Structure 1
């Protein structure tokens, strides 16, 4: 069988992130200094789908490392409701592959009108979102032909992680970001086939995580839905203990992203309870996991190679379930919502 576009784009991800960091290093450093000088009390993000999951990782990095609260604002607040926003002195970060969706463009414009400084993270530089921003971080990831976004999601997350490193002037995080292409390359060589049998025959699944692994879990659940037609939901390792725990039955598949940070012990407890309830839980961890992961040298970035490992698994799972991961029957590459 010929290689799918999704597989080729997964394989290109380490190089795409390396190109991004090389080409945009000076811009990222300058924007980081600018944000440090602005010292915003709040950041808002605007994105949908995989781009919103990249923004979710940015949220955790900002809140954990900078102490700056980050809120995801629904684009319809601007595009449909025309609500006035009180954002003077804030920063709005918009993340989009195409930069074309009218609602994302509308929210950026409304935020700027309300006094916010706008940053656009886009793969397409010649786009309304890019042209309407105060600062632009072009991904330069190249064409992504598969409907399922992979390398653009990880490139967006890498750009935002690099921005936090520069904003905080954080040498440890900066070094881990610089080493991210090598960690991603290492993730490509890891084997997750042990989880295929349970997920191939499943009708539902969970993905869980804490901290910066939670948006990775959300992205994993999205990919299982869009490429494998597998109903999957994402929860934090805490929230899954409430109503969602009731759905577990013997063999119910769960993938748990567990980086080695302050959430590690809490995640171990969650995994133990899910297993006791009958769940077939596969932990993803750099050390001691059921599925291997490539470390970055900074635990808050470790979910990113985990996500690339998952992408390879998702592509194989889609084919095992009889689906073309490049062409989901009800989806298209650019979704323009209002």
Structure 2
């Protein structure tokens, strides 16, 4: 059996804080130039386009843009452009494409359609000379560095960090700007947290729910994906509001639930759902800064509620890597998966 601390996933996720600090410094001029353009010609709305972990980053971006900038943000369905050959009306939109490799044909095709329709195309990519980057009006490099484990970790968190830096500088929000400076150290503290209770509790699990809400929903989606691809554990993500519309009926004794609760106005409702599951006898774990209860997973103080999902996922990555090894899996090479998935 391999040791959890020797996997590529562990080594790469551990580098996240340094990668984010590097990204913030290197991208400042690019971001400021883009912000100047966006302020001179404000978009009517924002459209995101992504798949997999990058789409979970887009979920975070949606809540970040809408709560901070007040701009309606929609997720484009890549198949509409690449398969159905429909050309949406995107004139005046900001089209944000997120892709680690930047070469998935469907994302490239949708970016081409958006640009032809009059949208401003911004690409968040880790490969700066990729096809997606070459056609974008602005490229925001993720600067995650090489990532060889199939499971994306630091590139996902660098996607969130890029969205955060763009939003902070675009909005000019003083508290959010200050949070950028504190984020790398907060990520280092998040990596040091002990989530062994989660690892021990899920070693023999077969199914679970992961819940979150608002800015934390994308984190729940990302965690559910990582449980499946690295641990062979069936996990489904739900909004802590949507889980009450049917899915919660199957939660009871022996059905585990992991919750990412925000330190904002959505936090109380997420905790309330967890308490209801606990009363039914379900094993539950809560990740929320400042939570003091028996089922709480430790988290460092967050510089800003918009940073909290990054800290939760950074702690989670260390735990899910350990869980994969404990369950007899190699998280670096999940069965039937490749590092780059190209869809048309």
Instruction: Please tell me whether residue 264 in structure 1 is matched to residue 264 in structure 2.
Output: no
Give distance in 1, aligned partners of 2:67 and 2:282: 31
1:215, distance to aligned residue in structure 2 (A):
0.5
1:52, distance to aligned residue in structure 2 (A):
0.8
What is the TM-score when the length of structure 1 is the normalising length?
0.98
3-state SS in 1 of match to 2:53: helix
Give distance in 1, aligned partners of 2:131 and 2:16: 25
Deviations 1:165-219 (A, max 9, x none): 1111111111112211111011111000011222111110111111110000000
CA-atom RMSD, angstroms? 1.0
Specify the alignment match of 1:291 in structure 2. 297
Of 314, 331, 336, the residue aligned with 1:308 is 314
Specify the alignment match of 1:190 in structure 2. 193
Give distance in 1, aligned partners of 2:35 and 2:258: 35
Deviations 1:110-162 (A, max 9, x none): 01111100000000011000000000001121110000000000001000111
Give the aligned length: 338
Give distance in 1, aligned partners of 2:85 and 2:280: 46
1:23, distance to aligned residue in structure 2 (A):
0.6
Give distance in 1, aligned partners of 2:116 and 2:301: 42
1:247, distance to aligned residue in structure 2 (A):
1.2
Specify the alignment match of 1:113 in structure 2. 116
Give distance in 2, aligned partners of 1:279 and 1:30: 50
1:295, distance to aligned residue in structure 2 (A):
2.6
Alpha-carbon contact 1:294-1:302 (below 8 Å) kept: no
Alpha-carbon contact 1:57-1:213 (below 8 Å) kept: yes
Deviating above 2 A after TM superposition, structure 1's stretches of 4 or more consecutive aligned residues are none
Give distance in 2, aligned partners of 1:99 and 1:76: 17
Give distance in 2, aligned partners of 1:152 and 1:44: 21
Specify the alignment match of 2:38 in structure 1. 35
Of 20, 26, 32, the residue aligned with 1:17 is 20
Alpha-carbon contact 1:295-1:305 (below 8 Å) kept: no
Alpha-carbon contact 1:258-1:264 (below 8 Å) kept: yes
Specify the alignment match of 1:326 in structure 2. 332
Alpha-carbon contact 1:40-1:90 (below 8 Å) kept: yes
Specify the alignment match of 1:100 in structure 2. 103
3-state SS in 2 of match to 1:55: helix
Specify the alignment match of 1:130 in structure 2. 133
3-state SS in 2 of match to 1:179: helix
Alpha-carbon contact 1:198-1:251 (below 8 Å) kept: no
Q: Which 10-residue stretch deviates more, 266-275 or 289-298? A: 289-298
1:265, distance to aligned residue in structure 2 (A):
1.5
Specify the alignment match of 1:337 in structure 2. 343
Deviations 1:25-80 (A, max 9, x none): 12112212222222212100010011111111111011111111111101111111
3-state SS in 2 of match to 1:91: strand
Give distance in 2, aligned partners of 1:35 and 1:177: 21
3-state SS in 1 of match to 2:15: helix
Specify the alignment match of 2:168 in structure 1. 165
* Matched ranges for 1:47-126 at <5 A: 47-126=50-129
Of 5, 10, 15, the residue aligned with 1:7 is 10
Q: Which 10-residue stretch deviates more, 85-94 or 287-296? A: 287-296
Q: Which 10-residue stretch deviates more, 262-271 or 205-214? A: 262-271
1:288, distance to aligned residue in structure 2 (A):
1.6
Give distance in 2, aligned partners of 1:69 and 1:42: 5
1:300, distance to aligned residue in structure 2 (A):
2.1
What is the TM-score when the length of structure 2 is the normalising length?
0.96
1:14, distance to aligned residue in structure 2 (A):
0.5
Specify the alignment match of 2:219 in structure 1. 216
